[in-house]
Structure 1
Amino acid sequence: MKNKNLESFIDDISIFEEANTEKLPPVHKWKPEYSGKMDLIIDSQGDWKHDGAYFKRRSIVNLFSKLLLLEGNKYFLISPTEKWEIKVSVAPFVVVSVDRVELNSVPAIKCTTLTEQVFLIGKSHPIWLDNINSNDNAIPFTRVRDNLNAFFNRSSYYRLIDMALENKNKSRDEISIHSLGIDYPLGLTA
């Protein structure tokens, strides 16, 4: 996709910049025709680049992250009139911060993504372990919204492990994280 097309796409979705940042656009209701492939990649660190250059404006990345759609195994950047296929190396979101919180006296784990989405680990946002490829150890993932997932960056992963080790059941070798009344296994201790 040429830069002119990217500018056109930005103009097309600019109405959402003014909207409440907590409210997501209704991408599931939009049915534009397939527009082609855009040279836009979300790399293995969660950074976005177009035509080989990283985005410099975080506000554009945050806006675009609200316009992601997964159909089958293909990711799209979508507007009411355009639907561009993009490449995602691992997952479209990256959890960069993990904190313990309480919600009505119930312990929970709060996650924040690189694109500033905030949510609590629970039924709608479970944690599971998965391999990126056959050579890697399993890493934790979580659901951000719809069928879009996030992986945990190194520091947030270590923070999860620290939290799990603090609560480790001495009679078992498995560690898990507890949030909103649900235990999520994170693997075995050495």
Structure 2
Amino acid sequence: MVYTPPPELAGLSLAEIAQAVGSRGLPPVDQWKPEATSDSRMRIAADGTWYHDGSPVARPAMVRAFASLLWRDPADGQHYLVTPHYRQTIEVEDAAFRAVDMQVKDGALAFRLNTDELVIAGPDHPLRAEGDAEAPAIYLHVRHGCEARLDRSTWLQLAEHALAGGDDLAVHSQGAAFSLVPR
């Protein structure tokens, strides 16, 4: 099956972005409760690179496939790759995804992830600020407890948008307000 990435974020309307988000069929990993657990010997580095047995996963299609199976346990924060009959732990150094682009569309903030997925920030996909004034980090909730950390250029896009809207370093998307000031 040939993979066709979504068009550039800048060229899409909010309706087209929402349609692309809704059309992606993802496995219901939050509904699967397998008892068998082992170690996947996989790691997602802080820069978003996936590794297996210490070697980078070179095929983007494999990363997208594995990413669709990610789930983070709310009790202990452990990330897993989940199938109906098995789950494997996966080490995540910072965040499971990286947000690599952002666009403001019709009062909403749309983000492209390193897996080519599109996410619209809002009540179901909140933004949160961590770190401190010297080293802030902005995270976007993606799904199943997993987050995307905004890369530097995307963080700068978001900060410029916030500053254009006022001095409070806050942004709004789909009726929700998010402070960019680290807690």
TM range (shorter): 0.7 to 0.9
Q: Aligned equivalents of 2:161 and 2:180: distance in 1?
A: 11
Contact 2:70 2:144 in 1 (8 A): no
Q: Secondary structure at 1:115's aligned position in 2?
A: coil
Deviates more, 1:42-51 or 1:178-187: 178-187
Aligned pairs for 1:89-108 (under 5 A) are 89-102=93-106, 107-108=107-108
CA positional deviation for 1:35: 3.1
Aligned pairs for 1:33-52 (under 5 A) are 33-52=35-54
Q: Secondary structure at 2:94's aligned position in 1?
A: coil
Deviations 1:5-25 (A, max 9, x none): xxxxxxxxxxxxxxx970111
Would you say 1:176 and 2:144 are equivalent positions? no
- Within the candidate set 53, 65, 69, 1:63 is matched to 65
- Within the candidate set 150, 162, 177, 1:152 is matched to 150
Instruction: Compute the RMSD of aligned alpha carbons.
Output: 2.0
CA positional deviation for 1:76: 0.7
CA positional deviation for 1:138: 3.0
Q: Which runs of 5+ in 2 are unaligned?
A: 1-21
Q: Secondary structure at 1:125's aligned position in 2?
A: coil
Deviations 1:141-165 (A, max 9, x none): 1111131111101110011011111
1:80 corresponds in structure 2 to 84
Q: Which runs of 5+ in 1 are unaligned?
A: 1-19
Q: Aligned equivalents of 2:36 and 2:99: distance in 1?
A: 30
Q: Aligned equivalents of 1:21 and 1:178: distance in 2?
A: 25
Q: Percent of aligned positions with the same letter in both sequences?
A: 27
CA positional deviation for 1:126: 1.1
The letter for the 1-side match of 2:58 is K
CA positional deviation for 1:181: 2.6
> Higher relative CO (CA 8 A, sep ≥ 6), structure 1 or 2?
2
Q: Aligned equivalents of 2:130 and 2:181: distance in 1?
A: 11
Would you say 1:114 and 2:114 are equivalent positions? yes
